[in-house]
Structure 1
Amino acid sequence: MGLEQRSQITDVQFTASTSYDFSTVANQARLNNVANGRMVGAWIPRFKDDQQWIQIDLLHPKNITGIVTQGRPGHNQWVKSYIVRTSLDGVNFIPITDFGKTTPLIFAGNIDHETPKTQIFGQKISARFVRVYPVTFETSIALRLELLGCFVPAVTGTGTTSTTTQTTGSTPVTPPLSKFLVTFNIWSEAFEL
């Protein structure tokens, strides 16, 4: 989604529950970020509890398909497990769950501070806001991350585009690509394309 590049996701699009100090603010959480001067190259919250979170505002709803995480560069600090919650409005956050379940899915995090760990969600999630809540960690909560996904509008029978979502359980999801293709095939047959 472009978290690594400041030209795509700006510093102000990162927020967090807390930061340990000015050198560990949320915008330090870009995947592959490095320590630079007094900046440590990772987000580190002030407290070591399960109420801490980091949030990315994508400005518009996007289809999120996964996440990549890392720990603090050069230090034995990383997140071992975490929960992801998403929102379209920035107020009502829905946890990513297993299909048909209501309990938040706990994702396996990193096993060291440097190796990226990728987690692919079982479905596309339509969201503007993405929050990551660390659950367990090594030494201290320290996180760098990237979101996976894209914005792909669906073609409807009217020739217009839309980003229709449906709700499965408590998590909004985008219909699979096969539904887009069926819609296109029906539309193209009607107009003999």
Structure 2
Amino acid sequence: HNLNLIPSLLLSLSLLLSLTHTHTLTNTDYPCSGMLGMVSGQISDAQVTASSHAERGWVPENARLLTGRSGWTQQQTRQPFRNEWLQVDLGQDKLVSGLVIQGGHHRDKNVFMKRFKVGYSSNGSDWTMVNEDNDAKPKIFIGNQNHDTPELRTLGLLLTRFLRIYPERATPEGLGLRLELLGCEIQGEIVQTSHTHTVLA
């Protein structure tokens, strides 16, 4: 039944993105807000990895928005979480403009992420954090309000192949994360914009 939500979800996402973004990196039709493959399966299970995972019901490949059975959670239970991440490999560089995040459900647990950071990389080794505007500090994003409602978080426009979510805080019972990446293929000439980033070794 969740699949029926996708058209209305896409429409609301497009409207939100058009209201919150004032620039684009390419000469493609604006906004760059298509779903990049977590829901459709274009992103394979092998392209979704994590620092760790809890029991079998919470593996990384379950972190698909709407269609995931439960979501992903890491082994670490003590908050704030340290050095835990969920990684999506897009297969090639693309423009990523936002995330849709959703909590998780497994057996009697309704859990969701409350605070997180975002990192990105073109080679999977050298990572850059998304920072606060005009600040060198990594941006702390607000997570979900409940385990079921998808919520949009905009990222500006990132030219990247790999994206990581670094959860910091979640519900007392633990973390549950499902997501979709929003963006588009690179077409035409890319115009460089200036950003301040924190580079991770």
Structure 2 match to 1:133: 166
For 1:133 and 1:102, the matched residues in 2 are separated by: 17
For 2:96 and 2:121, the matched residues in 1 are separated by: 11
Query: Aligned to 1:69, which of 71, 96, 101?
Result: 101
Greater relative contact order, per chain length (Cα 8 Å cut-off, separation 6+):
2
5+ residue gaps, structure 1? 36-40, 155-161, 172-193
**Following TM superposition, by how much is the alpha carbon of 1:100 offset from its aligned partner in structure 2, in angstroms?**
2.6
For 2:143 and 2:119, the matched residues in 1 are separated by: 15
Q: Does 1:2 align with 2:37?
A: yes
For 2:91 and 2:190, the matched residues in 1 are separated by: 15
5+ residue gaps, structure 2? 1-35
Question: Deviations along 1:67-102, whole A, 9 cap, x unmatched?
Answer: 111111363210011100000110111110123311
TM-score, normalised via structure 1 length: 0.76
Query: Aligned to 1:45, which of 51, 68, 74?
Result: 74
**Higher-Rg member (1/2):** 1
For 1:63 and 1:140, the matched residues in 2 are separated by: 31
Secondary structure in structure 2 of the residue aligned to 1:73: strand
Question: C-alpha root-mean-square deviation of aligned residues, in Å?
Answer: 1.8
Q: Are the structure 2 counterparts of residues 132 and 34 from structure 1 closer, same or farther at C-alpha, using a change threshold of 3 Å?
A: closer
1:34/1:73 contact within 8 Å kept: no
For 1:87 and 1:116, the matched residues in 2 are separated by: 25
**Pairwise mapping of residues 16-55 of structure 1 onto structure 2 (< 5 A)?**
16-35=50-69, 41-48=70-77, 49-55=81-87
Secondary structure in structure 2 of the residue aligned to 1:152: coil
User: Aligned letter for 1:102?
Assistant: A
User: Aligned letter for 1:87?
Assistant: S
Sequence identity percentage: 31
For 2:43 and 2:68, the matched residues in 1 are separated by: 17
Name whichever of 143-152 and 70-79 sits farther off: 70-79
Query: Aligned residues, how many?
Result: 158
